[in-house]
Structure formats: structure tokens, C-alpha cells
Amino acid sequence: MTEIVMPRLSDSMEEGTIIRWLRSDGDRVERGDELVEIETDKATMTYEADAEGLVHIVAREGDTLPVGTLIAHLLLPGEATPTDGGAEEPARASGTGSDDGGGPATPSSVGPPPVVVSSDGPPATGERVKASPLARRLARELGVELTGLAGSGPGGRIVKADVQSAASRALTTPTPAAAAAVAATPAQAPTAPAPAAAPAGDGGTAKGHVTITEPTRTQQLIARRMAESRATIPAFTLRTSVDMTDAVALRTQLKQAGHQPLPSYNDLIVKATALALRHHPLANSSYKDGRFETYSRVNIGIAVATEDALIVPTIFDADHKTLTQIGEEARRLAERVREGTITPPELSGATFTISNLGMYAITGFEAVINPPQAAILAVGSIQQRPTNHNGEITLRHQLDLALSCDHRILHGAPAAEFLAQIKQTLENPLALAL
């Protein structure tokens, strides 16, 4: 018998959510067969079986579990199904919306008063309400009673949409008990001016109709890591302006010569940064678990925006790649991120991160350090500005860079030298094309 546990699919992964089992109980799988879809702090990924056998599922779809928690067994022919806990629900990480295991979730003591929702199809007396962890969590937050709520999920399971729909109905439709209580209350003359009524058609609140969206697992963990970065890293930021006139001219020449693929300005920045990291090892380091880690490889993470998250795939050994190789790899990785086909190795191992918002006409910004890395480079747009060049005021193409650093490992002087080398290389870009 082989135990399948929640795998660590990325450097920062601490827990994962079972999105969908790709095999059923009793199915036979071979080594390398796709077994389960798991959502991590980076993306949703498919995990392949690392052994062969008959599948015995322990963790259910929707369960959020710490890395290393048992999720399934692979049984050899003739082996009995485990009975010591196999039918029990695995322990979940905190904050997933599961109840205490006995019965339906109850509203929290903090927050809005309970909303009593009536619907068809209540469960039999003593029957445990079937609901996803997200639905249970949302029900507690909104004060929705799950008992009596009809589920639209598999096997009648209550899902997030059912809870949201019930809460929306409850805002505008009073329960029979509430209506009877209102009818039985004698009319009284008002003793004070009535509060202003909410605008008509707003669903009963002054803010209009409220739509509540549960963050994805990726969004939750990104939020936690960014809050951790701001709260725990003593960061400072250095800024500089780069004269990109020669870089613009070089790219124009490559375009006129029919060079394909044509390198983007971000490709130039990645290459220049990689060369600078080779000579400034403190910038290519991390402060982790109270120790300094310095890396021999220069692996640059490039931030790629998706519809609901920011994913950072890695260009490995960027200091040894040509501009053409960097451009091809960057475009391939960005496409795989947006298609949702990016793999764990492509999201791991970065030693430095670049975030570029220049394509949105942002002139400059300060990026949040991706822990435990020592620094992150924020890149703005290239703009023509009057500049003193060789004693004359002329229009030159200018680029603003901002380097945010962890002061525990990368101090002001070495950080300034690192940023100055990036600037110098970009202002003399011919070496980047060689």
C-alpha cells in the first residue's frame, strides 16, 4: 500500500485544496497517471501518481489540507481497504470553513445576525448537512442557516452559490415568523423622525446590491504573503532614471533589420538585471529562517498578471541566456500562466523578481518584496522628457526604476551599486545584443 499525501508543489506552498479527483475509488492507476487537481498558492495543478495501484480516496473535493496530510491510498491487488480513519474526514487547515464535525455550521457570534432561510428539501432529522467547506465558511459569515437549504452541487451538496442566493433572498423576503411578528405589533405614533430610507431597488442597503465573492486559494495565499512582506520586512526603496534613448534606437534597428523575435524592452531589462546580479551576490540572496542564503544561479521571476491573481514564473540562468532566448522563454511562460498550464518547476527557484507596469503607462511605482528574496525591481513606462544631455536640453527617452530591498540583507550602498550597474548597462545596450 502506498500513501498519497498533499504534495508540496511550489516553494511557498503550505497547504492545498482538492479541486477535483480525476480517478474514482477502485480505479487502477499506473505511475505517471493524472490523479487529482490541486489548487496551491500559485495556480491549479494536476498531480500525477508516483506509484501504481487501486485508488482509495481519503480527502474529499473542496478539502483544504496542510502539505503532508494523507489524501489517498494506492492499494496493491489483494490489499484490504484501510479502516482506521479512512472513512473519517481529514483535519483541515484553519480558515477553510469546515465545522467541528458534528452537525451543521452555526453563525459566528461576531458579525450580522442569523438569517433564517427556508427552502424545499430539508434533510431528515439527525442527518448531517452536506455542504462544501467554502459554503460552510460563507454561511457563518453571512449568518445563513444551512439546515433546510437545498444544494445544487453533486449529490445535493450545498455550494457557495446556494449560500449567496439564500442570503440575497433573505435581504428582500421576510420569513413567515418575521412577517407574523410585524403584523401582531400594534401601530404606534412615531416619537422621533424616522431614519432616511435606503434608495429604492438597492436590495435593502444604502450601498446598493452587495455582491460577495470568495477569494480563490491563490488569492488568499497571495494576500497573506504580501501582508507578511509588509509587516515583517524592513524595506527601503531606491529610485533612478535611465536614459533609454540608445536602447530605443537599438530596438528600432533590430526591427528594421527584420530580427525575429524582436526583443521587448522588458527582455532588455531582464538581461541587464541578470548581468548585474552576477556581480552583486547580496542582491541575489535571501533572508530565510534567520539566516542568509546566497545563490550561485541567477533565476529571475517575471510577474505576470491574470484575471484574478499575479503569478511569477521563472527564467532560469538568465545571465547566461541571449536576448532571443530570454524573449522566447518569457513569452512562453506568460502564455502558459494565462492558459493555466504552468507547472510547479516553472514557478519555483526564483532568486530575484521584476515587476513591469510600463505597458499600462505607469511612470513608476514601488513593488512589494516577494519573501524571502532580498529585493524586487519595479519598472515603469518609457517616456520622452527634457533632459540635460552633453550640456544641451533635449528630449530623451527616460525610464524610471525603483528597487525595493530587505534591509536585513541588502543595505543602501551595495543596493545603490547594483541599481547603478543596471542603469549603466541599459544606457549602453550594445553588449546586451551580443
Contact (CB, 8 A) for 400 and 309: no
Please name the amino acid found at residue 70.
L
Task: Kindly state the DSSP code that residue 88 receives in the 8-state scheme.
Answer: S
Render 264-298 in DSSP notation, one character per residue.
Answer: PHHHHHHHHHHHHHHH-GGGGEEEETTEEEE-SS-
Handedness of CA 5, 9, 15, 21 (dihedral sign): negative
Contact (CB, 8 A) for 74 and 52: yes
Helix extents (H) in 1-158: 133-142
Beta carbons within 8 Å of 289's beta carbon, 6+ residues apart: none
C-alpha to C-alpha distance for 263 and 247, rounded to whole angstroms = 11
C-alpha to C-alpha distance for 97 and 397, rounded to whole angstroms = 52
Contact (CB, 8 A) for 347 and 375: no
C-alpha to C-alpha distance for 220 and 375, rounded to whole angstroms = 23
C-alpha to C-alpha distance for 397 and 244, rounded to whole angstroms = 5
Helix/strand/coil for 258: coil
Orientation angle between helical segments 412-427 and 265-279, nearest 10 degrees = 140
C-alpha to C-alpha distance for 429 and 244, rounded to whole angstroms = 9
Contact (CB, 8 A) for 155 and 130: yes
Point out the residues that are catalytic.
407
Helix/strand/coil for 337: helix
**Is the preceding omega at residue 114 within 30 degrees of 0, hence cis?**
no
